[in-house]
Amino acid sequence: MTLRKAFALTLTTLALGTSATAFATEATPYHYGMKLDIAQVIAVDAPANAQDDSHTATLTYRDSSGQLRAVSYAQPTFLSNQN
């Protein structure tokens, strides 16, 4: 593989990853027992420096039919899990 082809492949991958998260703007809130059909995880977005006991994270994924979906969920911070 030439350097030019590798560079083009990298740019294409970055462009597709960025555009995929842009399409899934409406995240469905997760509830206990909710059935999830996750074929491929695209991104996990969570605040890096949350000070509360928990914060909202968003999982963007493709289901088995290829549709892009997003689900939001409460994620506890690492500090709140310490005993």
pLDDT at 26 (0 to 100): 87
CA-CA-CA-CA torsion for 29, 33, 39, 42, nearest 10 degrees? 30
Question: How do residues 14-61 score in pLDDT, each as one tens digit?
Answer: 455 545 545 556 899 999 999 999 999 999 988 776 566 678 899 999
Confidence of residue 11 (pLDDT cuts 50, 70, 90): very low
27 Cβ partners below 8 Å, 6+ apart?
58, 60, 70, 71, 72
The reported pTM is 0.59
Q: Are 16 and 60 in contact (CB under 8 A)?
A: no
3-81: CATH topology: Spermidine Synthase; Chain: A, domain 2 (2.30.140)
Region 55-83 average pLDDT: 84
Q: What is the pLDDT of residue 9?
A: 47
What string of H, E and C letters represents the secondary structure of 22-57? HHCCCCEECCCCCCCCCCEEEEEECCCCCCCCEEEE
pLDDT of residue 32: 92
